[in-house]
Structure formats: structure tokens, C-alpha cells
Amino acid sequence: MAAPVARAQALADGAATREALRAALAGFDGCPLAATATNLVFDDGNPDSGLMLIGEGPGAEEDRAGKPFVGPSGQLLDRMLASIGLDRTKVLITNLIPWRPPGNRNPTDAEIAVCLPFLRRHIALVRPRHLVLLGALATHALTGDKAGIRRMRGKWVKLTVPGLDTPVPALPMLHPAYLLRTPGAKRDAWADLRLLRRALDGAGSAR
């Protein structure tokens, strides 16, 4: 049998719709996290909104609900979105890793590598006008830039996504779980939210 990353790539490439991609992920046995998770956590929100948020991976609540960002960091994320007039009808939310790592440990490089083809295909099928990358893991995995998130946050980058003709403007931000642990960083988060709002209003420098 082909190596897991090659199988992931072939399955992801073969998915012509978001629903087909969800089904392909649900049937994929090349990531060991699928065996220990309760549910696949695929996405939540509005795929036609033009704005896609990418977190790290499900925690305990998300694993139980099969939905991203429903626990404490999800509640903070909802408040952050509300502060710039957004809610889940106006964004699509997904994660770098669609299955909960046991005990909320960070995913390994191998686990990230096998999930990335699915995430990139997810982005290509949704065709967002803007992306928000929540936290270091999603930012590093998608941009390939391993600089610290405190340095990368708040600056738009262009993300080349296979299957899309033009790069997608992506804004790295601090992860809500980090903000819960580090309230002093909230000021940076609000600055980044204002940048996002400006870009959505067509006034920012995202493009």
C-alpha cells in the first residue's frame, strides 16, 4: 500500500466537493489520530462566506461534538468575531488536524504532514477570499515559515494553494487558547481583528 501522505494526497485530489472531501477524510485510515478520536471534526460555519479560519485541532469538547471551536477557546473566538461584526454565518472554521490528539498534545510532524493535503484541498474547494491562521501550528504548516507567531501575527501573507489560480491573502493571528492563558496579548489580537475587518471592508492591504 502507498505511504500515508501519498494516499492522503490522492484521496484529497480526488474529492470534487467539500462533502466528498469530508467523506474521504472519514474513510481515511492513514492517520493514527483517527483511531483514538471520538469524532471527525471537519468544519463549521458558512462555506460561501469568503472567510475561512484555520485552527490547530480539536480539544475534548470539539471531539465530543464533532464541531470545531465549541469549548472555552471557541467561546473566546466567538467573542472575538462578534467584536468585528462576524459570527458563524459569516465565516467557515476548520482546523489543521481534524482528529483530537490524545490528551490535547501537539500533533507530530508526521500527523501534520498526512493531514495537510486534505486541508489544502479544503481551502481550494471553499475558495475563500481571506484566510485567518490561528496560532503557530497552522501558520507554520501552511506558510512553511517557522518564525515565531508573535513575529508573524498581524501581517498579511500570500498563500499559494494548489488548485487556486491566485494566492489567498492569509492573516496569522494568536490562537484563542493562547489568549486565554496570556490575557496581556489580547491587545495584539484586537489589533489583528481590526486589520481583518479593514480587509473585509476592502480597505486593507490584504491583496
Please give the Cα distance from 207 to 205 (Å, whole number): 6
- Binder among 53, 177, 193, 200 for ligand URA (CB under 6 A): 177
65 in Cβ contact with 90 (< 8 Å): no
**Choices 57-65, 106-114, 125-133, 179-187 (CB under 6 A): range interacting with ligand URA:** 57-65
Which secondary-structure segment (H or E) carries 195? helix 186-200
75-87 residues labelled b (16+ CB within 10 A) or e (exposed): ebbbebbeebebe
Please give the Cα distance from 53 to 191 (Å, whole number): 17
Q: How far is the CB of 13 from ligand URA (least distance, A)?
A: 25
Q: Copy the grid coordinates of residue 205.
A: 492591504
Does 156 participate in binding ligand URA (rule CB under 6 A)?
Answer: no
Q: Which is nearer to ligand URA, 65 or 164 (CB)?
A: 65
Does 69 participate in binding ligand URA (rule CB under 6 A)?
Answer: yes
**Choices 20-28, 63-71, 141-149, 152-160 (CB under 6 A): range interacting with ligand URA:** 63-71
What contacts 24+ positions apart, CB below 8 Å, involve 176-179?
Answer: 176/69, 176/73, 176/74, 176/76, 176/77, 176/80, 176/134, 177/56, 177/72, 177/73, 177/135, 178/135, 179/76
- Binder among 59, 98, 169, 172 for ligand URA (CB under 6 A): 59
Size of residue set near ligand URA by CB under 6 A:
13
Q: Copy the grid coordinates of residue 59.
A: 480539544
Does 68 participate in binding ligand URA (rule CB under 6 A)?
Answer: yes
Does 58 participate in binding ligand URA (rule CB under 6 A)?
Answer: yes
Does 43 participate in binding ligand URA (rule CB under 6 A)?
Answer: no
Q: Which residue is nearest to ligand URA (CB)?
A: 55
Does 139 participate in binding ligand URA (rule CB under 6 A)?
Answer: no
Does 57 participate in binding ligand URA (rule CB under 6 A)?
Answer: yes
Does 55 participate in binding ligand URA (rule CB under 6 A)?
Answer: yes
Please give the Cα distance from 167 to 25 (Å, whole number): 25
Q: Copy the grid coordinates of residue 120.
A: 489544502
- Segment 79-98, which members bind ligand URA (CB under 6 A)? 95
Binding residues for ligand URA (CB under 6 A): 55-59, 62, 68-69, 71, 73-74, 95, 177
